[in-house]
Amino acid sequence: MTQEIAQATDFQTIDTTVIQVRSVLNFMYALGYVLDANSKTARFFTENKSLQANRFLSVHTAIRMHNMPDEGWNVLHDGQGNATAHPHGVNLKGGFTVLGVRLAFASRLVPKVKFSVTRVGVVVIQDHMVRPLNETVRSLIEA
């Protein structure tokens, strides 16, 4: 019993809020979106003309796309050699370039984030336990 207590006290929770939020910011930036600093609800927006049908995206939508596995994206071909990637189950008016989605996945720091944002823009972490996608992130978490 004493050994179990000693092991439990050796465990330290590390605040991964910055890593999780940065992972979503990187992902959205690679897709062509930035955080809307003028919004109280922490939404993303783009000035990219090809994405104007979805000019604004909520943080909830961004998190869903970030956490979606590769196979959760459908690639549609238009018959003229163009392909767009669409996140399955996310109601959007258009798709993203396949290259943009690949870059977005490559820019993630963790495969899945576990947070939400309140109506007034406060980040609420549901779980600090994350799996790093590279050694740099691993060293930040284990430091």
Task: Give the span between the Cα atoms of 92 and 95, in whole angstroms.
Answer: 7
Dihedral, CA of residue 101, residue 117, residue 33 and residue 85, to nearest 10: 30
The token duo for 137 is 């992130």
- What is the C-alpha separation between 45 and 35, in angstroms, rounded? 6
Supply the pLDDT for residue 22: 96
Question: Residue ranges of the chain with pLDDT lower than 50?
Answer: 6
pTM of the entire predicted model: 0.86
pLDDT of residue 41: 76
What single DSSP character describes residue 76?
E
Asked if residues 83 and 77 have their Cβ atoms less than 8 Å apart, the reply is yes
